[in-house]
Amino acid sequence: MGNALDIMQLASDGAAVLVAEMAKSGWESFRTAVANFFGLGGEESAVDELRLVDAAHTRLAESPEDMRDSMAETLQQELYIQLAAFLQKNSDAAAKLQALVDSSPSGEEVRDGGASVHHNTNSQVVVSGGSISTGGSIVYRAPGGNK
């Protein structure tokens, strides 16, 4: 995880998992694991970082049902920034965050349904020239095909 791109991807995955877990009834047990993760930055840092995570959880829990998805997106961006900054100061914590992502049932959803794809083989990439639902075009080019 020494490369900045990997840290940013991990922060993105971590933020998605945090928000997904916040919406579940088992948040408190996951919160304990998050507290242990932030503890790698020292006790004072852990208190500050966890305060931000708790505030995010409260905002999500108290958001009106019809605004929940929008709030989740906002919180995911905020947590992404928080995690990326934490990992840049504490790069040795990357393995612990990866373990959190991997151990969470939401981690599977993030990896499979989210924007990040890991261990992907035998896939094709389809690029839309606009919204597919409004009649945009789809272009397929096989690897090494004519341009």
pLDDT tens digits, residue range 69-108? 999 999 999 999 999 999 999 999 999 999 999 988 776 6
Pick from 132, 107, 105, 131: which is nearest to 118 by CA?
Answer: 107
122-141: pLDDT as tens digits = 334 444 444 444 444 444 44
**C-alpha to C-alpha distances, 52 to 47, 58, 59, 140, nearest whole angstrom:** 9, 10, 11, 44
Beta-carbon count within 10 A of 71 CB:
18
Higher-confidence position of 115 and 20: 20
3-state secondary structure of 128: strand
pLDDT given for residue 107 in this prediction: 65
Residue positions counted in the chain: 147
The predicted model scores a pTM of: 0.69
Greatest Cα pair distance, the chain, in angstroms, is 57
Contact by Cβ (8 Å): 93, 42: no
User: Hunting for tokens 């906002």 — which residue is that?
Assistant: 74
Q: Please write the tens of the pLDDT for every residue from 16-64.
A: 999 999 988 788 888 999 999 999 999 999 999 999 999 999 999 999 9
